[in-house]
Structure 1
Amino acid sequence: MLLAQISDFHVGKLGSSIDTEYRTSEHLRRAVEHINRLAPRPDVVLCTGDLVDEGSTEEYARLVALLAELTMPFYVVPGNHDHRENLRAAFGGRGYLPAEGFLQYTVDLGELRLIALDTHVPGAPGGLLCAERLAWLDARLGEEPQRATVVMQHHPPFRSGISYIDTMGLEGIEGFTEVVARHPQVERVLCGHLHRPIVRRVAGTVAMTCPSTSHQLELDLREPGRLALVDEPPVCLLHVFREGLGLITHSSYMRDFGAPHVLVEV
């Protein structure tokens, strides 16, 4: 089982500053082409939030057209830049999003189970896992305690050490940790939001963030720090699940570095 993860597309309206300056739609198109060319081909693609920049129906129409080029199923969760109801309207026909309420769901991936969480708070940059959302997670994890499970959400359940972005973090981390600690089948918690690859141990499992398909945040560990963008390569995370090995994560850089120099071929 091979899961590709991409995040923080920030698709904007045609002609907007994020569209022309940061070329976010162009970068997502390249990400889709990159994933489609991978060998072996991923079984599914996980999209961990901030799918569009302002949450408008125009942006979601562009996003739908771009993701339609993927040659495998994909699953989405909202980020702080998204709009819950517009996202539901855009992707509701794919059969996995609930008709009302939080955009939370489960998917049977065969060897793995996927649980998607909605950390969105309308109008706020930070996220929230309230008592209702955590109770839902606890119940879903309790349904199949022996089944290897991946949880995906936009806001990571940890502080990153990048002080400015940590002011836009997740509320409810303590409750999330308590729930996950009761369910050791959680192989990984996959997140976005930070525009950097960051890994932390959480409640007996591993939580990690996926870089953006477009622009990355500067690694600034000073206190107080600043918020700045850097032209680091966009990354697609590849999560490989194999019996006896568990879940292993690799980074696939979405930039042309030339042909590999083959040392041994078998």
Structure 2
Amino acid sequence: MTAILQISDTHIVHEGALVSGRLDTADALGRLVERISGIRDKIGAIDALLVTGDLSDGGTAASYDRFKSIIAPLGLPTYVIAGNHDAREPMRAAFAQDLPASGHLDWSRRVGDIHLIGLDTLVEGQGAGALSSDSLSFLQAALAQAGGAPVLLALHHPPFASGIRFMDKIGLTNREAFREIIADYKGTLRIVCGHVHCMMVTDVAGHIALSAPSPCSTFAYDRRSDAPVGFYTQEDGCLLHRWNGGFESIRIGPVAGPGPFPF
């Protein structure tokens, strides 16, 4: 059995700062780390931590150092991908051991039974994302290398429309090119992403795709054309992906609540 914990959209800033003048994102992430640490004996062994973008809110070296210090109590091998709020070179420097020395931050790793692939959708200076021709070629080669093994494929921008209009305006601009490549993969492939600050489950080219919640805020699922643009201060949890002959994806909420009570 292999288990990978996914945390997304932590938006860490330097000490003393609040995101949008309101969100203490470091405090929220710290509470989630405490929550996970407190239930490790219940959920079983975790092989790695996957962070699907927007680790930082401004891409500063200090924010990446702060992020690393907050997650340190988990003691997990950590694999990161870039989100639209990240900055490629400071992120590369902060995670130099596990990211390529140059070019886009695409990578693949074998973690237990899972072939884990991370793709860089960052277009610096823009909210929308795209997979470069190099990243698409990397994906094609990484899937060939996986050779039918179970794949957990991670990117920041969802390869699907969320229905949240202001987020879809800054979504993945070349979803079809991504779909064409993964449609040919014959093994089990699960796609995970972030960006939309809520959990959604859908199908992309015959494969299950999930977006992860954010520890620090939530976007409302509001399909109206005049839906307000903004966030809610509701904090959410993370996802745990387990391979045991098939994928299981479990949401872990930020708080336990009272109980358990007898039936």
TM-score, scaled to structure 1: 0.93
Q: Report matched runs for 1:125-136 at 5 Å.
A: 125-136=127-138
Partner AA of 1:18 in structure 2: V
Equivalent of 2:202, from 200, 203, 214? 200
Q: Report matched runs for 1:95-110 at 5 Å.
A: 95-110=97-112
8 A contact 2:84–2:128 mirrored in 1 = yes
Give 1:146's aligned residue.
148
Provide the alpha-carbon RMSD of the alignment: 1.5
Give 1:55's aligned residue.
59
Equivalent of 2:77, from 73, 76, 89? 73
Q: Deviations over 1:122-178 (max 9, x none)?
A: 111111012221111001101122211110110010111111111010011000000
Q: Deviations over 1:193-235 (max 9, x none)?
A: 0001111100110111001011111221111322222243412
Q: Deviation of residue 20 (structure 1)?
A: 6.7
Give 2:38's aligned residue.
37
Give 1:10's aligned residue.
11
Q: Does 1:83 align with 2:87?
A: yes
Q: Deviation of residue 262 (structure 1)?
A: 4.4
Q: Deviations over 1:71-119 (max 9, x none)?
A: 2212111100000000011111xx3211111111111112111001000
Post-superposition, which runs of at least 4 consecutive aligned residues in structure 1 deviate over 4 A?
Answer: none
Give 2:25's aligned residue.
24
Give 1:222's aligned residue.
224
Q: Deviations over 1:35-86 (max 9, x none)?
A: 2223213221111000010111121121121122222212111100000000
Secondary structure of the structure 1 residue equivalent to 2:140: helix
Q: Report matched runs for 1:180-191 at 5 Å.
A: 180-191=182-193
Q: Deviation of residue 19 (structure 1)?
A: 8.5
Give 1:247's aligned residue.
247
Partner AA of 1:69 in structure 2: P
Secondary structure of the structure 2 residue equivalent to 1:86: helix
Give 2:176's aligned residue.
174
Q: Deviations over 1:166-192 (max 9, x none)?
A: 101001100000000011324211100
Identical residues among aligned pairs (%): 35
Structure 2: runs of 5+ lacking an equivalent: none
8 A contact 1:45–1:73 mirrored in 2 = yes
8 A contact 1:233–1:253 mirrored in 2 = no
8 A contact 2:18–2:25 mirrored in 1 = no
8 A contact 2:163–2:221 mirrored in 1 = no
The separation in 1 between residues aligned to 2:226 and 2:202, in whole angstroms, is 22
The separation in 2 between residues aligned to 1:215 and 1:44, in whole angstroms, is 24
Q: Report matched runs for 1:250-261 at 5 Å.
A: 250-261=250-261
The separation in 1 between residues aligned to 2:18 and 2:33, in whole angstroms, is 22
What is the number of equivalent residue pairs in this alignment? 259
The separation in 2 between residues aligned to 1:105 and 1:113, in whole angstroms, is 11
Give 1:118's aligned residue.
120
8 A contact 2:84–2:127 mirrored in 1 = yes
8 A contact 2:214–2:235 mirrored in 1 = no
